[in-house]
Amino acid sequence: MRALFCGVRGSTCAPGGDFVRYGGHTSCVALAHDGTPPTLVLDGGTGLRNLSRHLDGHPFRGTILLGHLHWDHTQGLPFFAAGTHHASDVTVVMPAQGDPEKVLERSFSPPHFPVTPGELEGNWQVTSYEEGDHDVEGFHVVAADIPHKGGRTFGYRVSDGAATIAYLSDHSPVGAGDGPEGLGAYHRTAMDLAAGVDVLIHDAQHTAAEFRSRHQLGHSAMEYAIGLAEAAGARSLVLFHHDPSRTDDEIDTLVATHQGGPVEVIAAAEGLVIDV
Ligand SMILES: [Zn+2]
Ligand SMILES: [Zn+2]
Protein backbone atom coordinates (compact mmCIF):
# COMPACT_ATOMS: atom_id res chain seq x y z
CA MET A 1 0.00 0.00 0.00
CA ARG A 2 1.16 3.51 -0.78
CA ALA A 3 0.10 6.50 1.35
CA LEU A 4 0.40 9.90 -0.30
CA PHE A 5 0.07 12.88 2.02
CA CYS A 6 -1.77 15.60 0.08
CA GLY A 7 -2.61 17.92 2.99
CA VAL A 8 -1.36 17.72 6.58
CA ARG A 9 -2.52 20.91 8.27
CA GLY A 10 -5.30 21.12 10.84
CA SER A 11 -8.11 23.62 11.32
CA THR A 12 -7.34 25.99 8.45
CA CYS A 13 -4.80 26.52 5.69
CA ALA A 14 -1.37 27.91 6.54
CA PRO A 15 0.11 29.79 3.57
CA GLY A 16 3.41 31.65 3.75
CA GLY A 17 7.14 31.21 3.88
CA ASP A 18 7.25 29.65 7.34
CA PHE A 19 5.08 26.73 6.22
CA VAL A 20 6.43 25.65 2.83
CA ARG A 21 8.31 22.50 3.85
CA TYR A 22 5.49 20.80 5.77
CA GLY A 23 2.80 22.51 3.73
CA GLY A 24 -0.27 24.59 4.30
CA HIS A 25 -3.11 22.51 2.85
CA THR A 26 -5.63 20.86 5.16
CA SER A 27 -6.19 17.17 5.78
CA CYS A 28 -6.08 14.67 2.93
CA VAL A 29 -4.25 11.32 2.58
CA ALA A 30 -4.59 9.23 -0.59
CA LEU A 31 -4.09 5.45 -0.54
CA ALA A 32 -3.15 3.26 -3.47
CA HIS A 33 -2.63 -0.41 -4.03
CA ASP A 34 0.96 -1.10 -5.05
CA GLY A 35 1.67 0.11 -8.57
CA THR A 36 -1.77 1.64 -9.21
CA PRO A 37 -3.24 5.16 -8.89
CA PRO A 38 -4.88 6.13 -5.58
CA THR A 39 -8.49 4.98 -5.25
CA LEU A 40 -9.18 5.53 -1.54
CA VAL A 41 -8.82 8.97 -0.01
CA LEU A 42 -9.02 9.85 3.67
CA ASP A 43 -10.65 13.28 4.04
CA GLY A 44 -11.28 16.01 1.50
CA GLY A 45 -9.45 19.02 2.93
CA THR A 46 -7.83 21.51 0.59
CA GLY A 47 -4.93 19.09 0.10
CA LEU A 48 -7.27 17.10 -2.14
CA ARG A 49 -6.33 19.57 -4.88
CA ASN A 50 -2.82 18.09 -4.86
CA LEU A 51 -4.09 14.62 -5.73
CA SER A 52 -5.04 15.61 -9.29
CA ARG A 53 -1.36 16.08 -10.18
CA HIS A 54 -0.70 12.46 -9.23
CA LEU A 55 -3.38 11.12 -11.58
CA ASP A 56 -1.64 12.35 -14.76
CA GLY A 57 -4.75 13.96 -16.21
CA HIS A 58 -6.93 10.91 -15.62
CA PRO A 59 -10.29 11.26 -13.85
CA PHE A 60 -10.49 10.06 -10.26
CA ARG A 61 -12.48 6.88 -9.80
CA GLY A 62 -12.69 5.94 -6.18
CA THR A 63 -13.95 6.72 -2.70
CA ILE A 64 -13.31 9.60 -0.32
CA LEU A 65 -13.88 8.66 3.32
CA LEU A 66 -14.60 11.71 5.46
CA GLY A 67 -13.65 11.22 9.10
CA HIS A 68 -15.99 14.09 9.90
CA LEU A 69 -17.44 17.18 8.27
CA HIS A 70 -15.41 20.10 9.60
CA TRP A 71 -14.27 22.62 6.99
CA ASP A 72 -10.63 21.47 7.07
CA HIS A 73 -11.80 18.01 5.93
CA THR A 74 -14.30 18.97 3.21
CA GLN A 75 -13.34 22.21 1.50
CA GLY A 76 -11.16 20.52 -1.11
CA LEU A 77 -14.07 18.55 -2.58
CA PRO A 78 -15.35 21.15 -5.10
CA PHE A 79 -11.79 22.05 -6.13
CA PHE A 80 -10.69 18.49 -6.89
CA ALA A 81 -9.99 18.75 -10.61
CA ALA A 82 -9.65 15.00 -11.20
CA GLY A 83 -12.93 14.49 -9.36
CA THR A 84 -14.84 17.22 -11.18
CA HIS A 85 -14.00 15.65 -14.55
CA HIS A 86 -16.75 14.51 -16.92
CA ALA A 87 -15.53 10.92 -16.62
CA SER A 88 -14.94 10.86 -12.87
CA ASP A 89 -16.70 8.48 -10.50
CA VAL A 90 -16.50 9.67 -6.90
CA THR A 91 -18.19 8.25 -3.83
CA VAL A 92 -18.03 10.44 -0.72
CA VAL A 93 -18.68 8.64 2.56
CA MET A 94 -19.37 10.26 5.94
CA PRO A 95 -20.29 8.95 9.38
CA ALA A 96 -24.05 8.28 9.34
CA GLN A 97 -26.12 11.22 10.64
CA GLY A 98 -29.23 11.70 8.50
CA ASP A 99 -29.50 12.12 4.74
CA PRO A 100 -25.82 12.35 3.76
CA GLU A 101 -26.23 14.60 0.74
CA LYS A 102 -28.39 17.04 2.69
CA VAL A 103 -25.92 17.03 5.59
CA LEU A 104 -23.03 17.91 3.25
CA GLU A 105 -25.15 20.55 1.52
CA ARG A 106 -25.55 22.48 4.75
CA SER A 107 -22.07 23.95 4.24
CA PHE A 108 -21.82 23.24 0.50
CA SER A 109 -24.66 25.19 -1.16
CA PRO A 110 -25.74 28.84 -1.61
CA PRO A 111 -25.36 31.16 0.21
CA HIS A 112 -22.25 29.47 1.72
CA PHE A 113 -20.91 28.22 -1.62
CA PRO A 114 -22.12 28.73 -5.22
CA VAL A 115 -22.89 25.10 -6.07
CA THR A 116 -24.16 21.96 -4.37
CA PRO A 117 -22.44 18.53 -4.43
CA GLY A 118 -25.07 17.40 -6.94
CA GLU A 119 -23.97 20.10 -9.38
CA LEU A 120 -20.33 18.99 -9.56
CA GLU A 121 -19.11 17.75 -12.94
CA GLY A 122 -18.74 13.97 -13.15
CA ASN A 123 -20.54 11.22 -11.29
CA TRP A 124 -20.63 12.01 -7.55
CA GLN A 125 -22.47 10.04 -4.90
CA VAL A 126 -22.68 10.99 -1.24
CA THR A 127 -23.38 8.22 1.22
CA SER A 128 -22.64 7.20 4.80
CA TYR A 129 -21.28 4.39 6.94
CA GLU A 130 -22.14 3.13 10.33
CA GLU A 131 -19.35 1.91 12.58
CA GLY A 132 -17.87 -1.43 11.66
CA ASP A 133 -16.17 -3.29 8.84
CA HIS A 134 -16.42 -2.19 5.23
CA ASP A 135 -14.80 -3.41 2.02
CA VAL A 136 -14.06 -0.48 -0.25
CA GLU A 137 -11.85 -0.13 -3.33
CA GLY A 138 -10.16 -3.44 -2.48
CA PHE A 139 -9.22 -2.28 1.04
CA HIS A 140 -10.62 -3.56 4.31
CA VAL A 141 -11.77 -0.56 6.38
CA VAL A 142 -12.78 -0.49 10.02
CA ALA A 143 -14.68 2.67 10.99
CA ALA A 144 -15.15 3.56 14.65
CA ASP A 145 -16.46 6.56 16.57
CA ILE A 146 -13.74 8.50 18.36
CA PRO A 147 -14.15 11.54 20.61
CA HIS A 148 -13.71 14.96 18.94
CA LYS A 149 -15.48 18.27 19.33
CA GLY A 150 -18.48 19.22 17.23
CA GLY A 151 -20.02 16.35 15.32
CA ARG A 152 -19.70 12.63 14.78
CA THR A 153 -16.11 11.62 14.00
CA PHE A 154 -14.66 8.34 12.80
CA GLY A 155 -11.18 6.98 13.11
CA TYR A 156 -10.28 4.52 10.38
CA ARG A 157 -8.14 1.41 10.18
CA VAL A 158 -7.30 0.42 6.59
CA SER A 159 -5.64 -2.76 5.38
CA ASP A 160 -4.83 -4.14 1.96
CA GLY A 161 -4.23 -7.60 3.41
CA ALA A 162 -0.48 -7.08 3.74
CA ALA A 163 -0.08 -3.63 5.31
CA THR A 164 -2.27 -1.75 7.78
CA ILE A 165 -2.56 1.90 8.69
CA ALA A 166 -4.72 3.77 11.19
CA TYR A 167 -5.98 7.32 10.68
CA LEU A 168 -7.16 9.39 13.65
CA SER A 169 -6.82 12.89 12.26
CA ASP A 170 -8.94 14.68 14.87
CA HIS A 171 -9.06 13.02 18.25
CA SER A 172 -9.93 14.40 21.68
CA PRO A 173 -8.94 11.54 23.98
CA VAL A 174 -9.77 13.51 27.13
CA GLY A 175 -13.35 12.89 26.02
CA ALA A 176 -12.77 9.31 27.18
CA GLY A 177 -10.98 10.23 30.42
CA ASP A 178 -7.86 12.07 31.59
CA GLY A 179 -5.43 9.16 31.05
CA PRO A 180 -2.15 8.65 32.90
CA GLU A 181 -0.55 12.02 32.03
CA GLY A 182 -3.71 14.11 31.79
CA LEU A 183 -3.44 14.12 27.98
CA GLY A 184 -6.35 11.75 27.47
CA ALA A 185 -7.16 8.09 27.91
CA TYR A 186 -5.70 5.27 25.85
CA HIS A 187 -9.28 4.14 25.37
CA ARG A 188 -10.40 0.89 23.82
CA THR A 189 -11.47 2.28 20.43
CA ALA A 190 -8.20 4.13 19.84
CA MET A 191 -6.22 1.08 20.98
CA ASP A 192 -8.17 -1.24 18.69
CA LEU A 193 -7.80 1.03 15.65
CA ALA A 194 -4.06 1.43 16.21
CA ALA A 195 -3.25 -2.11 17.39
CA GLY A 196 -0.09 -3.35 15.69
CA VAL A 197 -0.44 -1.09 12.64
CA ASP A 198 2.48 -0.40 10.35
CA VAL A 199 1.70 3.32 10.34
CA LEU A 200 -0.40 5.34 12.78
CA ILE A 201 -1.41 8.74 11.38
CA HIS A 202 -2.56 10.77 14.38
CA ASP A 203 -3.70 14.22 15.45
CA ALA A 204 -0.67 16.12 16.80
CA GLN A 205 -2.12 19.60 16.94
CA HIS A 206 -0.70 20.54 20.36
CA THR A 207 2.29 19.96 22.57
CA ALA A 208 1.73 18.67 26.09
CA ALA A 209 2.63 22.14 27.41
CA GLU A 210 -0.02 23.76 25.20
CA PHE A 211 -2.61 21.12 25.90
CA ARG A 212 -3.69 22.38 29.35
CA SER A 213 -5.01 25.61 27.88
CA ARG A 214 -6.24 24.13 24.58
CA HIS A 215 -7.71 20.70 25.37
CA GLN A 216 -11.22 22.12 24.91
CA LEU A 217 -10.54 22.58 21.17
CA GLY A 218 -11.00 18.84 20.62
CA HIS A 219 -7.51 17.70 19.60
CA SER A 220 -4.53 15.76 20.91
CA ALA A 221 -1.07 16.49 22.21
CA MET A 222 1.71 14.86 20.19
CA GLU A 223 2.94 13.24 23.41
CA TYR A 224 -0.43 11.46 23.61
CA ALA A 225 -0.02 10.24 20.02
CA ILE A 226 3.41 8.84 20.89
CA GLY A 227 2.03 7.16 24.00
CA LEU A 228 -0.83 5.63 22.03
CA ALA A 229 1.52 4.35 19.33
CA GLU A 230 3.69 2.69 21.98
CA ALA A 231 0.77 1.27 23.95
CA ALA A 232 -0.92 -0.12 20.83
CA GLY A 233 2.26 -1.60 19.35
CA ALA A 234 2.30 0.58 16.21
CA ARG A 235 5.49 0.30 14.17
CA SER A 236 5.66 3.98 13.25
CA LEU A 237 3.85 7.22 13.99
CA VAL A 238 3.16 10.08 11.60
CA LEU A 239 2.36 13.31 13.45
CA PHE A 240 -0.54 14.86 11.51
CA HIS A 241 -3.00 17.77 11.58
CA HIS A 242 -0.35 20.33 12.50
CA ASP A 243 -1.61 23.48 14.16
CA PRO A 244 -1.93 26.24 11.52
CA SER A 245 0.50 28.43 13.51
CA ARG A 246 3.19 25.70 13.80
CA THR A 247 6.13 26.71 11.60
CA ASP A 248 8.43 24.35 9.70
CA ASP A 249 11.28 25.05 12.13
CA GLU A 250 9.07 24.37 15.12
CA ILE A 251 7.94 21.03 13.65
CA ASP A 252 11.60 20.10 13.00
CA THR A 253 12.45 20.84 16.64
CA LEU A 254 9.51 18.89 18.01
CA VAL A 255 10.24 15.85 15.85
CA ALA A 256 13.91 15.93 16.94
CA THR A 257 12.78 16.11 20.58
CA HIS A 258 10.80 12.91 20.24
CA GLN A 259 13.43 10.66 18.64
CA GLY A 260 14.91 7.61 20.37
CA GLY A 261 11.75 5.94 21.65
CA PRO A 262 10.51 2.49 20.71
CA VAL A 263 8.31 3.83 17.87
CA GLU A 264 9.67 5.70 14.86
CA VAL A 265 8.22 9.24 14.88
CA ILE A 266 8.04 11.49 11.82
CA ALA A 267 5.94 14.51 10.90
CA ALA A 268 3.55 14.45 7.97
CA ALA A 269 4.54 16.79 5.15
CA GLU A 270 2.70 17.68 1.96
CA GLY A 271 4.03 15.39 -0.77
CA LEU A 272 5.34 12.73 1.65
CA VAL A 273 4.94 9.23 0.20
CA ILE A 274 5.13 6.18 2.45
CA ASP A 275 5.25 2.72 0.94
CA VAL A 276 3.90 0.53 3.70
ZN1 LIG B 1 -9.48 18.84 11.50
ZN1 LIG C 1 -12.36 18.53 13.36
Give pLDDT tens digits along the chain (276 positions). Answer: 999 999 999 999 999 999 999 999 999 999 999 999 999 999 999 999 999 999 999 999 999 999 999 999 999 999 999 999 999 999 999 999 999 999 999 999 999 999 999 999 999 999 999 999 999 999 999 999 999 999 999 999 999 999 999 999 999 999 999 999 999 999 999 999 999 999 999 999 999 999 999 999 999 999 999 999 999 999 999 999 999 999 999 999 999 999 999 999 999 999 999 999
Residue 25 CA to ligand 2 center (angstroms) comes to 15
The predicted pLDDT at position 34 comes to 92
- Number of residues written out for the chain: 276
Query: Rounded distance, CA 72 to CA 63, Å?
Result: 18
Q: Nearest-CA neighbor of 13 among 87, 75, 69?
A: 75
**Would strands 132-136 and 123-129 be described as parallel, antiparallel, or unpaired?**
unpaired
CA 218 – ligand 2 centroid, Å: 7
Q: How many CA atoms are closer than 13 Å to the CA of 4, on its beta-carbon side?
A: 23
- The 10s digit of each residue's pLDDT in 136-194 is 999 999 999 999 999 999 999 999 999 999 999 999 999 999 999 999 999 999 999 99
At residue 241, the pLDDT reads: 98
Q: Ligand 2 mean position to 180 CA, how many Å?
A: 24
CB 98 within 8 A of CB 86: no
Amino acid letter, residue 113: F
Segment holding 4, helix H or strand E: strand 2-7
Spacing, Cα 213 to ligand 2 middle (Å)? 18
Ligand closest to 169 (CA) is 1
Tell me the CA–centroid distance for residue 84 and ligand 2, in Å: 25
In the reported structure, the alpha carbon of residue 150 is separated from the centroid of ligand 2 by a whole-number distance in angstroms of 7
pLDDT value for 86: 96
Query: Distances from the Cα of 134 to the Cαs of 4, 27, 98, 158, in angstroms?
Result: 21, 22, 19, 10
Cα(131)–Cα(208) distance, rounded to whole angstroms?
30
Q: Are strands 89-95 and 2-7 parallel, antiparallel or unpaired?
A: unpaired
What letters, b where the CB count within 10 A reaches 16 and e where it falls short, cover 61-75?
bbbbbbbbbbebbbb
Q: How far, in Å, is the centroid of ligand 2 from the Cα of 68?
A: 7
pLDDT of residue 204: 98
Please name which of 254, 132, 129, 227 lies closest in space to residue 173, comparing C-alpha atoms.
227
How far CA 94 is from CA of 25, 129, 131, 155, in Å, comes to: 21, 6, 11, 11
Q: Are strands 123-129 and 89-95 parallel, antiparallel or unpaired?
A: parallel
